[in-house]
Amino acid sequence: MEKCDLTSEEISRYSRQLILPQFGVSGQLKLRSARVLIVGCGGLGCPAAVYLTAAGVGTIGLVDDDKVELNNLHRQIAHSESTINMSKVHSLADRCMRLNSTVNIQIHEIHLDNTNALDIIKKYDVIMDCSDNLATRYLVNEACAVTGPKPLVSGSALRLEGQMTVYLTKRILSTGEMLSPNKLPPESRAPCFRCIYPVPPPKGSVHGCSEAGVFGVDVHTGKLFLLDVERNLTRSVKLRGPRPNCPVCESSELNIDKPLTNYVLFCGAPSCDKPRTMNMVMNAHRITVQQLKNYIDSELSHLLIDVRPKVEFDICHLKSSINVPLSELFRDSVISEIRQIMDTKISKGAVLPFPVILLCYRGNKSAEVAPLLKCALSSLRCSNSDNNFDLDVTHSLQVESKCFNAEPDSSEFIICDVAGGLLAWSLEVDPNFPIY
């Protein structure tokens, strides 16, 4: 087994973000080594700390000297009735540790000022300003500039409004700059908070949540809010009015006594996002994971193709496998490359029919593509004028229960897939193989 530098528990815990091509194993390793400081454990700091903890940020520092009050609970979602009068840093730290005990939570139960800010901030890579007053914002901004500059993620919320930006890091290109055909200027550092607000507003003109109020949610009736996190783009779209012939909200035939529509049948899809179960149905061209193990252990020549996306292959894979993602499997160049590998192994004396074994995570996709790959390889071989083999591509291939002892036929290769895939391998052969 070949595995990335993550533990099996980490692979299972973070699997849904690990399989994102834009993130993958490298992204998770960067998170694990990151140190993030959250200044303020209130309405902004609570969700920030919880989500960063869940995502697997290695070290999270919490700064606050306040205590939990009843009037905090409508928006400061990490605190609870049981933690009223407890310090916010301890309440939030406890919530984070119950969510993910592998994260290192550092508590700074202190009022941040110009005598201690540098000593605390210099220990972290990224600073999140979730404070509730201007003096702290100016202070944190200066400390980040002096000790780095360190990226400063700054957010605020008041009444029904909010804002967020990142100071002191590479400037994010605007939409116009990204779409412009002209050569873009070199990226420069983003401004700091003091660049934008060189002079504080008049005393008394800025109100806090206790005076102005704040609401924890925003109603977006009649509009669709779109967010592209990767490109940092947002858009708000006004929704059209009800469709006159809509069978749900405009139908005169609606009756509370009638059964609701069966939307599983309507959509042709299950009503949950749980992954499909392992495909363990056996047929003449399928093998079990134990048979696969026996074949690998025998060191007989074969070709084991893992058809999962590369980002999943990088998480964990069998040592003897090669990765050909399903999205690329039927490209002409890929089929030719597979054929070339087969020919090389056959020319070195591999036993015929030469076994080509397809493997995926649950055995579903490999079962679907196995007959298609057989046709693709057979068609390529038949069209090759230099071939020395007489293929009978219509002959039915039979697989014995042990090590592919196929009944005599004229085929030079056999396409098999593994029932249950790598999940079955983990359950039946190698319990240390990560489940994600």
End-to-end CA distance of the chain: 15
Helix axes 365-382, 332-347, angle to 10 degrees: 80
CA distance 344 to 321: 16
Nearest alpha-carbon partner for 318 in 287, 354, 293, 355: 293
Task: Kindly state the DSSP code that residue 41 receives in the 8-state scheme.
Answer: -
For residue 213, count CB atoms less than 10 angstroms from its CB and return exposed for 0-12, middle for 13-18, buried for 19 or more: exposed
CA distance 126 to 147: 11
CB 325 within 8 A of CB 310: yes
Q: Which tokens in the block code for residue 324? A: 């050909």
Query: What is the amino acid identity at position 343?
Result: D
CA distance 140 to 320: 52
CA distance 52 to 21: 20
- Assess whether 209 carries a catalytic annotation: yes
Q: Which of 4, 144, 360, 416 is an active site residue?
A: 360
CA distance 301 to 257: 65
- Assess whether 272 carries a catalytic annotation: no
Q: Which tokens in the block code for residue 20? A: 């994102």
CA distance 365 to 308: 9
Catalytic residues: 209, 360
